[in-house]
């Protein structure tokens, strides 16, 4: 029982950690995209 509970907790922890990393990488990509858009807009002028 104890091992199962521990594995469940570990899986939950790893899941939330992965989710955090995914959200972080997603926002980083969005920021890079916005930055590149601004750069191309400046170059057009």
Q: What is the reported pLDDT for 20?
A: 79
Q: What is the reported pLDDT for 14?
A: 76
Residue 27 CA to residue 33 CA, distance in Å, equals 10
**Can you tell me whether residue 39 is helix, strand or coil?**
helix
Residue 24 CA to residue 14 CA, distance in Å, equals 15
The structural domain count of the chain equals 1
Residue 18 CA to residue 21 CA, distance in Å, equals 5
Note down the domain range covering 39.
Answer: 1-45
User: pLDDT tens digits, residue range 1-45?
Assistant: 456 677 777 777 777 887 777 778 888 888 899 899 988 888 876
pTM: 0.42
Residue 39 CA to residue 42 CA, distance in Å, equals 5
């Amino acid at each position: 029982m104890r091992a199962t509970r521990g594995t469940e907790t570990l899986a939950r922890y790893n899941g939330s950690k992965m989710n955090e990393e995914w959200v972080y990488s997603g926002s980083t990509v969005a920021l890079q995209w916005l930055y590149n858009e601004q750069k191309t807009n400046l170059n057009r002028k």
